[in-house]
Amino acid sequence: MPGWIHRTLSALCRLVAKRARRPIHRAKPITGADVFRHESGIHTAALLKNPAAYQPFPCEETGRTPEPFAIGKHSGSAGVQSLLAAGGVAVPASLCPEILSAVRGAPGRTKALSARGSWPRSREGC
């Protein structure tokens, strides 16, 4: 499908949702807020190699901008390195297991962290 169809569909869905006073579910295909957000280690590693692996079209075709990966209990090293690199922090592969262990062991953490969310700004948080 051409990109204009995705953009038009997204705008139409937002208009209908607004008029119906019903939110679009975050995971709704094509139009949901989290449809281009990935946490899984397998997904993020595949997306870094080939974005078409889990996204049948670029998010720009829906009028959205690419999002960094989320980091959570399902994350892998590639996702951690990519998210930190997007923030200007280079992390050697040897540190990723330690970072992942800290993320997975964070007490009371039930949601994934992302660059647009509450990722710690200092190394102290890792």
The ranges assigned to domains in the chain are: 1-35, 36-126
pLDDT tens for 25-84 read: 988 888 888 888 888 999 999 999 998 888 888 888 888 888 888 888 888 999 888 888
All residues at 6 or more sequence positions from 78 whose CB lies less than 8 Å from its CB, including other chains? 41, 44, 45, 48
71 phi, psi to nearest 5 deg: -120, 130
pLDDT value for 67: 80
Q: Report which of residues 118 and 108 the model is more confident about.
A: 108
Top pLDDT among 42 and 5 is at 42
Reported as a single tens digit per residue, the pLDDT across 71-113 is: 888 889 998 888 888 889 888 889 888 988 888 877 655 566 5
Contact of 69 with 77, CB cutoff 8 Å: no
Decide if 47 contacts 54 (C-beta within 8 A): yes
- d(C-alpha 20, C-alpha 69), whole Å: 31
Bridge partners (DSSP) of residue 71 are 113
23 vs 16: CA distance, rounded Å: 10
